[in-house]
Structure 1
Amino acid sequence: MYNVLIADDHAFIRSGIASLIEKQPQFKVVDQTSNGTDTYLRVEQGDIDILIMDLSMPPGESGLITTQRIHHKFPKVKIIILSMHEEQEYINNAMHNGALSYIFKSSPDSELLNALKHVVLNQSYVDSNIILTKSDINEINSAAGIDDNLKGFNDLSKREQEVLPFVALGYSNKEIAAKLYISTKTVEAHKAHIVQKLGLHSHADLVRYAIHHHLIDI
């Protein structure tokens, strides 16, 4: 039995996915989340084998970044992206960041079921409507390229990476502390380290940085 976590900001979509998966004998939906931060924290608790996740769950951390962080820290968790984004840039970035499968929300249920069958065998699977060129495959498999622009972000600690989106979105120290179960003084320290490490000088600079590097969904 494979434990599945569903992450999407729309409850009715989560419900529909859960209903489909629960009909499959090998899979069990054990939890649902609605944003990137909660998704990471839930995976961190353990017992998740497969994550089915949307890329856009505003307001909050970009699903591309959540994918990267989860794959880096929990490589055994198999990530299936189920997204409305059909642009090649999103597909290549998601697969490069660690997703094993990429499915369009506009596709029939059979595509998601095919993805599940492949990922349990540790095989990648992309929607039948996706055509990956040699250039796309090289970009996905590249050790650099996509990551180069995120070097500063990748140099942040795990907690600093979690704090950054909330700061950029204008959450107060108290709100961030409550969401991440840390003290407000710890939040202040993380904010200072983030600005210092990224070489930024103001909150406006941080917002521009987060938007430019697709770190947040607004």
Structure 2
Amino acid sequence: MYKVLIADDHAVVRSGLSFLVNQQANFKVIGEEANGTDTYMRVEQGGVDILIMDLSMPPGESGLLTTQRIHDKYPNVRILILSMHEEQEYINKAIHNGAMSYVLKSSSDDELIKALKSLSNGENYIDKNIMITKSDIQQINSDGINVDLKGYNGLSKREKEIFPLIALGYSNKEIASQMFIYTKTVEAHKANIIRKLQLDTRADLVRYAIHHHLIEF
């Protein structure tokens, strides 16, 4: 039985996907999340074989970044991107960052089912409505298409989890409550983030996050 985690910011989409997946033999939905940070934390808990994830789950961390973080830390989790984004840039980046499958939300349920079955066999699957050219393959296999940020990549796991919350304007108290840590711990992480990124203020941090497409509103 393959354990599936579903991540999408729309409850009705999560509900529909759960119903569809649970109808398939050997697949069972074990959880649902609505943003990148919570998705990463749920994967971190273990027991996830396949992740079906949207790329746009505002407000919060970019799905492309979440894909990369999960793949780098938990490479055994098979990632299926289900997105409205048909732009080749998104598709190439998602695959480069670790997604094994990319399916369009505009496609039929059959595409998602085919993707699930392929992933269960350890095979990649790209929506039949997506054309992958030789140029795309070169981009996917290149070293420069992923999130290549020296400062950001130097942040700790916890700092990367807190980063989008700070950028989105959550207070220290709100972040502490959401992350189940002390307010002073949040303050320390915030100071470390600003120092590591060589920024001066939270406004600079917001500009940094937007410029590098690290968050979505």
CA drift at 1:210: 0.5
Aligned residues: 217
Q: Name 2:4's counterpart in structure 1.
A: 4
Q: Name 2:164's counterpart in structure 1.
A: 165
SS state at 1:146 partner:
coil
Q: Which amino acid aligns with 1:212?
A: H
Q: Using structure 2 for the length normalisation, give the TM-score.
A: 0.97
Quick one: percent identity of the two aligned structures? 67
Per-residue CA deviations over 1:24-78 (Å, capped at 9, x if unaligned) read: 1110011111111111111111111000001111111111111111111111000
Contact 1:149–1:213, Cα closer than 8 Å, also in 2? no
Contact 1:61–1:217, Cα closer than 8 Å, also in 2? yes
Contact 2:95–2:101, Cα closer than 8 Å, also in 1? yes
- For residues 151 and 140 of structure 1, the distance between their equivalents in structure 2, rounded to whole angstroms, comes to 20
Contact 2:93–2:146, Cα closer than 8 Å, also in 1? no
- For residues 216 and 172 of structure 1, the distance between their equivalents in structure 2, rounded to whole angstroms, comes to 17
Residue pairs, 1:19-38, within 5 angstroms: 19-38=19-38
Q: Name 1:52's counterpart in structure 2.
A: 52
Runs of 4+ in 1 over 6 A off after TM superposition: none
Residue pairs, 1:116-195, within 5 angstroms: 116-142=116-142, 144-147=143-146, 149-195=148-194
RMSD (Å) for aligned C-alpha atoms: 1.1
Contact 1:2–1:50, Cα closer than 8 Å, also in 2? yes
- For residues 129 and 146 of structure 2, the distance between their equivalents in structure 1, rounded to whole angstroms, comes to 26
SS state at 2:82 partner:
strand
Q: Name 1:94's counterpart in structure 2.
A: 94
SS state at 1:122 partner:
coil
SS state at 1:145 partner:
coil
Q: Using structure 1 for the length normalisation, give the TM-score.
A: 0.96
